[in-house]
Homo-oligomer: A and B are copies of this chain.
Amino acid sequence: MLSNSFTAQLNIQYPVIQAPMAGGATTSSLVSSVSEAGGLGMIGAGYMTPSQAREQMQELKQQTSTPFGINLFVPETFEVNQKEIDEANQILSSVREKLDIPLDHQVEYPDAEKTEKVFQEHIQVVLEEKVPVCSFTFGIPSKKVIAQLKEHNVYLIGTATTVEEAVENEKAGMDAVVVQGSEAGGHRGSFLDKEKQNLVGLMSLLPQSVDQVSIPVIAAGGIMDARGLLASLSLGAAGVQMGTAFLTCKESGAPDIYKQAIFEAKEDQTAVTRAFSGRWARGIENSFIAEMKNHEQSFPNFPVQNSLTKGIRKASAEQKNKEFMSLWSGQSPRLAQDLHAKDFMKKLAADAEKIKSNW
């Protein structure tokens, strides 16, 4: 049996969380399929408006009575500096030319005050819709927010890229913490020093974190099958969070061209870049990453750079050109499967039992 006290707390069958990938992959169909199959489906609401998040929650509650969760980005301080933006747009102009798109003068720059207000609205939606699990990336919410959520028995999950960040999450009252190994695809969740990549492999990060906190530790990064699940449990994890593995599932909202890029990638063909968003993130190396390599340190911080490249990413996807899209992926693309989420979960559980019986 794969159940443990962590699965009991969350009221799920398997210690498997579908990573809350922001950007469209976590359709209601994916989230509900995972939850119905005994895992924990998660809405990646990092780029959603509160009403979009509420709409998906309501849709999900019609599709399943099993628990699911939501992930929010904790607002961080940033500045909108016109000179920095002009310089970045200058560098990005070569890409815009290739895609034959104009500089978007209508781009809506993020506003720190508004971002904080939207975050508070998201928290209200979580409370009102009675979502049982809420996880956070890019930081730890305020004491007030944590107290509010705890009062309503929301299970809180933080994100860490170092042992120290895991400890801070526990101190702040998180119920569990995801530790994100260097293998992980997408954004690094680093928050104590967001300029750092903190690329510690899961084989190292996981046991060292488990030794320093007493809350359940959830392993993330490169885990794509039953082998990774059992390895994580061996290292002391209470469960795993898998992103890329669910991103290529049939129910995922990722564009086909993106899924195909993962199916064709090899383990050494991803890179960590800050050129897409202003925050370090791992994706499949393409022309955008390569061409921006020498400029990435000069780009504005997240989420400003993210707004500057939005038009580029969108046009690239529309033109079915994978070279200028953010192809977030972990380091195990060779293990990606093209399955229904339900079948993926079934195979995962069966394979895990098989490995265990061979011990």
Contact A227 B222 (CB under 8 A): no
Contact B201 A227 (CB under 8 A): no
Contact A203 B200 (CB under 8 A): no
A71 near B: Cβ within 8 Å?
no
A205 near B: Cβ within 8 Å?
yes
Residues of B close to A211: CB separation below 8 A: 334-335
Residue of B164, B181, B208, B228 near A207 (CB, 8 A) is B228
Contact A203 B183 (CB under 8 A): yes
Closest B residue to A268 by beta carbon equals: B162
* Cα separation A205 to B267 with both chains bound (whole Å): 7
A interface SS class:
loop
Residue of B162, B235, B330 near A204 (CB, 8 A) is B330
Residue of B200, B212, B235 near A228 (CB, 8 A) is B235
A230 near B: Cβ within 8 Å?
yes
Residue of B164, B198, B201, B207 near A201 (CB, 8 A) is B201
Residues of B close to A359: CB separation below 8 A: 356, 359
Closest B residue to A220 by beta carbon equals: B203
User: What's the nearest-Cβ distance from chain B to residue A118, in Å?
Assistant: 32
Return the CB mask of A318-349 against B: 1 if under 8 Å, else 0: 00000000000011101100000000000000
